[in-house]
Amino acid sequence: MKMPCEIIIWYILPGIRREITKSLLKNGLSQREAAKKLGITDAAVSQYLSEKRGRVEINDKKILGAIKNSAKRIISG
């Protein structure tokens, strides 16, 4: 049985990163720019987009709203 912290690290956080990545790209950033802003590789961005990483689907509207706000703050600096 996995510990709660393992579930968060291996499943929840990658799902959040995937949603942030998608939001950054929807707001006009390139994959390379998104990778640089998030401190990840271009390949990681590609894997988030192809759902090889971050497969957990986030459906909570409140969380998705917070993710979109975070993406806007990341873009603005």
Which tens digits make up the pLDDT trace of 26-41?
999 999 999 999 999 9
Q: Can you list the residues of the chain whose pLDDT is less than 70?
A: none
Cα separation values, 57 from 21, 49, 63, Å: 14, 13, 11
Instruction: Write the CB contacts of 23 (distance below 8 Å, at least 6 apart in sequence).
Output: 67, 68, 70, 71
pLDDT at 36: 96
pTM assigned to the model: 0.85
What is the CA angle 9-52-15, rounded to 5?
A: 40
Please count the residues of the chain. Answer: 77
What is the CA angle 56-60-62, rounded to 5?
A: 130
**Angstrom distance (rounded) from CA 62 to CA 73:** 17
